[in-house]
Amino acid sequence: MVFILFYYIWKKYPTIKTTYSEEQLIVLLKERNETGFHHLYDNYSGALYGVILRIVQSKEYTEEVIQDVFVKIWNSIHQYDSSKGRFYTWMINIARNTAIDYLKSKSFQNELKNQPLPDFVYNSKELSITNDSSDYIGFNNVLESLDVDKQELIDLAYYQGYTQNEISDKLKIPLGTVKTKMRNALIKLKDLLKDYQ
């Protein structure tokens, strides 16, 4: 894939490290600048990896998905609109949606059916993202600041891919309540995440 080729070329011929603002990085990516891509990968792959791992629950599958995520970011950078949200949030949404699509894909479902049981029953302790090595931005600590019911909503919607209607059915609470609690949870999260900007 394109980004893998860029990354290996960059590793073979490293350049002086440069720091870019988010705006500068976006300009570089829109200009198809390889240095911008390397900066993107080096500075965001860890956080995106953590998000994907939490959804797919497998290091092997996470490595497949993260490649797709960076290709999508590279190919769709012109669709990013800063007036609709931060660049990081846009990338998190791409990572989340790509991971959920991967889990729902026929090829993934067929692969699970064809594996012997021990190969796809994961060691939850080993793959847990509550440890420091994979919770790259401390997002679990941020989530724990929310009320338990709001944590559950965020988990169901953003990590397990449930729609608001499905959450309403699963938790046996009115759809309006789900929407209100989800909105309040996201407002609270936005406020908490200001410290990470």
Residues 14-69: tens digit of each pLDDT: 545 567 888 899 999 999 998 889 889 888 888 888 888 888 888 888 888 999 99
Give the DSSP per-residue string, 141-196.
Answer: HHHTTS-HHHHHHHIIIIIS---HHHHHHHHT--HHHHHHHHHHHHHHHHHHHGGG
User: Nearest CA to 161 among 111, 109, 97?
Assistant: 97
The answer to whether 102 touches 64, Cβ cutoff 8 Å, is yes
What percentage of the chain reaches a pLDDT higher than 90?
15
Could you report the per-residue pLDDT of 68-126, keeping only the tens digit for each?
999 999 999 999 998 888 898 899 999 999 998 888 876 655 555 555 444 444 444 44
Token pair 């939850």: residue:
124
User: Nearest CA to 26 among 69, 93, 72, 81?
Assistant: 81
The answer to whether 155 touches 69, Cβ cutoff 8 Å, is no
196 pLDDT band, cuts 50/70/90, is low
pLDDT of residue 193: 67
pLDDT of residue 28: 92
To the question of pTM greater than 0.75 for the whole model, the response is no
Q: Does the pLDDT value for residue 131 go beyond 50?
A: no
